[in-house]
Amino acid sequence: MKFETFIDTHCHLDAPEFAPDVDAVRRQAAALGVRHCVLPAVTRAGWPAVQQLAQRFGDSYALGIHPLYTGAAADEDLAALEARLAQQIGDPRLVAVGEIGLDHFVPGLDAARQLHFYRAQLRLARRFGLPVILHVRRSADALLRALREIPVPGGIAHAFNGSWQQAQAFVALGFKLGFGGALTFARALQLRRLATQLPLDALVLETDAPDMPPQWLYTPAAQRAAGHPQGRNSPAELPRIAQVLADLRALPLDELARASTANACAALPRLGALLG
């Protein structure tokens, strides 16, 4: 059965991995019921691409500077983001500031620099009345501290894998929590428990394609070392990921599809007008 209301709330169709066949990738996802994709930018150089792809496919986009790229970014990029947001704020396909946040997992990153860019982008989101799409990687408490100091109109905590208390704190601040391929792994016990215990209206679906492959696409490290490539995730995997979550929650898939679509529109209010 085909479902028309799946929204992939986090998909990097502008990634180099999709350059050879992005149109076919998006068509395949649409054929499987993925009605809409949200395309967050990760660098200043990527802003035009996400905007163009969103227009081409009838999707939406977010503009921001990802924490992993703050080392190569300059303060003038923040000024450029402010100017770009001012220029595009009338574009209904611009739905958020993102992907922004903090990464306390990858070694060698400058934590103070990440925080500087994160806080500056929160201020821009507040100025322009836009929600944010957050990168959360062992950084939930630090992200929450800044959000309490610089309130924004909610958004999505992407690839959430924190504690129950942290989840409740994000929800209290108006955020939905993004769940994707990671919950398809049977060993992800804490994440699966969280995905089943949270209120249904707290959850949105995502792929993070081409990254964060679900279990059926994942290539273990030993096989990768032997030359086998990692499976490429794509938005076409979203319905199957959704089925895993529906099974965990003992819900019919169509009920989860409707709820996750409504939740995405609540997190990113401009989506509602785009979906009609």
Could you list the residues known to form a binding site for a divalent metal cation, using ranges. Answer: 10, 12, 99, 135, 158, 208
Q: Which residues does residue 175 pair with via DSSP β-bridges, in sequence order?
A: 155
Amino acid residing at 9: T
Separation between Cα atoms, residue 148 and residue 129, nearest integer Å: 16
Q: What does DSSP assign to residue 54? A: H
Tokens of 74: 């300059």
Separation between Cα atoms, residue 143 and residue 260, nearest integer Å: 24
Separation between Cα atoms, residue 238 and residue 222, nearest integer Å: 27
> Shortest CA distance to 44 belongs to which of 113, 99, 120, 96?
99
Q: What does DSSP assign to residue 106? A: S
* Residues of the binding site: 10, 12, 99, 135, 158, 208
Q: 266 phi and psi, to 5 degrees? A: -70, -40
Rg of the chain over Cα atoms, rounded to whole angstroms, equals 17
For the chain, the farthest-separated pair of C-alpha atoms sits apart, in whole angstroms, at 50
Residue 47 contacts residue 82 (beta carbons within 8 Å): no
Separation between Cα atoms, residue 24 and residue 96, nearest integer Å: 26
Could you tell me which residues come within 8 angstroms of residue 232 by beta carbon, excluding any fewer than 6 positions away? 17, 209, 210, 213, 217
Amino acid residing at 36: H
Residue 235 contacts residue 36 (beta carbons within 8 Å): no
